Chains A and B, each alone.
Chain A
Amino acid sequence: MDIKQNIKTLIVKKPLKLDCGQTINNFPLAYETYGSLNNEKDNAILVFHALTGDQFVTGINPVTKKDGWWSYAVGSGKSIDTDKYFVICANVIGGCMGSFGPSHENPKTKKIYGTDFPVITINDMVNAQINLLDFFGIKKLFSVVGGSMGGMQVLQFISNYPDKAKTAIPIACTSSHSAQNIAFNELGRQAIAADHNWSDGDYNSKNIVPDKGLAVARMAAHITYLSKKGLQEKFGRKLQERDDLKFGFDADFQIESYLRYQGSVFVDRFDANSYLYITRAMDYFDLVKQFNGNLSDAFKNTKAKFFIISFTSDWLYPTQENKDIVIALNAIGANVGFVEIESDKGHDSFLLNVPDFLKALKNFLDKSYEEKHL
């Protein structure tokens, strides 16, 4: 079965000038929607996905046959209630779920782009997605929401299009990618590049996949999404289907087995070059620098109501980095609420069943939706 038949795609005709200088046009933007747009067209929420997410937010992902990445938060009666709101999510450009990315064919060379694909940025991603508003005839979104890289897109979106959303919810993110986060991303990229199959990005033409490298990249990254306490409680030093150590290098410990599994399932659904491109986009994200050191200037033209959420055990995008955004918003008298959610599930908390988080998200959205005077 061709998976593409399950993917809705908008061909963006309008030229898009990328930060790298290149201009693209007639490029595909794959998207999915949930719920229905009301007559006033004022109930739309644009959800931005994180590094390895895609447009299939909830329900069964038709390609992977697994639950959508934000099934806890989005759906009928859930925090982002699809009975009430029209949820749109697009695969980011540079991604590998149908949107214009490095696994696409370069029309000029008739070859797969690979690393000839232009380097894209968070800015490019949101500038591509703004086209969805015109497509659906939406003048103003009710909300823009996203965690991690999705949160960065929320910030960039509001900065670029200050009057296109009534509310904005950046979750577990940052306004400027930290050295530690760039370091982890570089580790992942080097793991991919060290895989002989990667072939300088040209693995498609050889019909091979740098699956070992990509799996290691995923394993390393996965550790950063969890917390020490969470790992200790879930795995501790528990052994994997054995009563004692085997004095070898098989997966003796459950945590090893778990990471290997995470790595192996990831390579089935993700493209190695996309991983390079998207991590690069995150590394380049620096909204503070874009506004010459004054983050407040990024938001000075917006009346959007912000709600910023962080998690106690998130050491990848720690509370302080989220709070810096709150501070920048308060400095210009913007309407901003903030809560740090208690959770030992690390950065991944926003994707998991963390009731306090899901409750806060739901309450903020539903109460804001009631306020018609916004």
Chain B
Amino acid sequence: MWYPLRKLGLLLLTAWAAITLNFLLPRLMPGTPADAAIAKLAQNGPVDPATRAAIEAQLGVPTGDTWSQYVQYLGNVAHLDFGVSYTFFPQSVSSLVMNALPWTLVMVGLVTIVAFILGTLLGVLAAWKRGTWLDTLPTLGGTFTSAFPYFWTALLLVFFLGYTLKWFPTSGAYGLESTPNLSLAFIGDAIGHAWLPALTILVTSVGGWILGMRNNMINTLGDDYVTFAEANGLRTRTVAVKYAARNAILPNLTGFGLALGGVVGGSLLVEQVFNYPGVGYLLFNAVTNQDFPLMQALFLMITISILLANFLVDILYGLLDPRTRR
């Protein structure tokens, strides 16, 4: 029982550190957001007190000492209140994030899991059938596709599958004429739109999993416990799955955890290319428009989700590898 509790403690500690850093970093910069905005306006001429008051009212001026600000900030974070977006005024940051998050979570999240499972299976097969075409094809293919840049793969897929063959729509998360709801028609529409970005991510990321798993598996196949299992005449499938692959997958879990944590950050390039309204797209907008409240909230969310994913992987490790449970 100690192991998960210890990991949970570590998670809470690092999350607190991340939140505190997120609070401190902007305050280490001189001036307030209002000062920055007014300075920008002042380049075009004097700013009258009314304008100054309006800007200060809009962006807020820090009140109280840093400690009470910190307490207030912690309270806001607990209520998921990250203020108002500059770019999409008057929408609140949290509503923007909540609108973008489902798209990213479902599309990028699913495809990350699928890529991991597919890559792992192909890697196991490649190592087990080493030297045959079952090895050469995924290994060479994986090396090849994992070297593709995202945007290039995206353009190719758009051109062939979207433009030439007209199988899938080429941009957006749903048709222009529909509004998001939970009807079957809309979900079908959304799935149709998700194909191209999902395929792009799959093609570029599956190769890494194949190669990683194949290499791990070739190592474990050379381990003594595999030889001993063969010497004891265990069934071929048992040796391949429960002895070789079961141990080979352990080092890959860390990578998978990081990939899962990264899902929340969205796939910036892919979402940009396909105008997909996910978190990556939102983040890109926030950065280009210097939308600090939005950026701050997104960075915090990405950090926390990576921490969470790592926590889950640690727990998974504890279940899968008795050596870590001590």
A complexed with B: no
Q: Which residues of B pack against A, CB within 8 Å?
A: none
Q: Which residues of A pack against B, CB within 8 Å?
A: none
